[in-house]
Amino acid sequence: MRSSNPIFTNLEKTTFSNSAETATKTGITIKTIILLLTTLVTGFFSVQIATALPEPVLYAVLIGSGILAFIAVMLATFVPKTALVMSIVYALLQGFVYGLITWILESIFPGVAVTALLGTGTVFTVMFILYNTGLLRGSALLRSVVLGSLLTFIVGSLILSVTSLVNPGFIESFYSFDLAVGISLFLIVIGALMLTLDFERAENVVNMGLPKSAEWNVALGFMITLIWIYYNILRLAVTIMARNNN
Residue 5 carries which DSSP code? S
What integer pLDDT is reported at residue 1 of this predicted model?
Answer: 45
Contact between 35 and 91 under an 8 Å Cβ cutoff? The reply is yes
Contact between 49 and 244 under an 8 Å Cβ cutoff? The reply is no
Among 219, 237, 233, 231, which Cα is nearest to 35's?
A: 219
Please provide residue 5's backbone torsions phi and psi, each rounded to the nearest 5 degrees: -95, 115
Residue 211 carries which DSSP code? B
Helix (H) or strand (E) holding 154: helix 140-166
The rounded average pLDDT for each run of 10 residues, N- to C-terminus, in the chain (246 residues) is 54 56 90 94 85 79 89 90 93 92 89 93 91 77 76 72 66 70 89 90 89 91 94 92 80
- Rounded (to 5) percent helix, strand, coil in the chain: 85, 0, 15
| Three-state DSSP class for residue 99 | helix
Domain ranges of the chain: 6-245
Tell me the residue ranges of DSSP E strands in 34-141.
none
C-alpha torsion sign, points 144, 176, 127, 231: positive
Q: Which amino acid is at 229?
A: I
Question: Which residues touch 42 (CB under 8 Å, ≥6 apart)?
Answer: 91, 92, 95, 96, 99
What integer pLDDT is reported at residue 98 of this predicted model?
Answer: 92
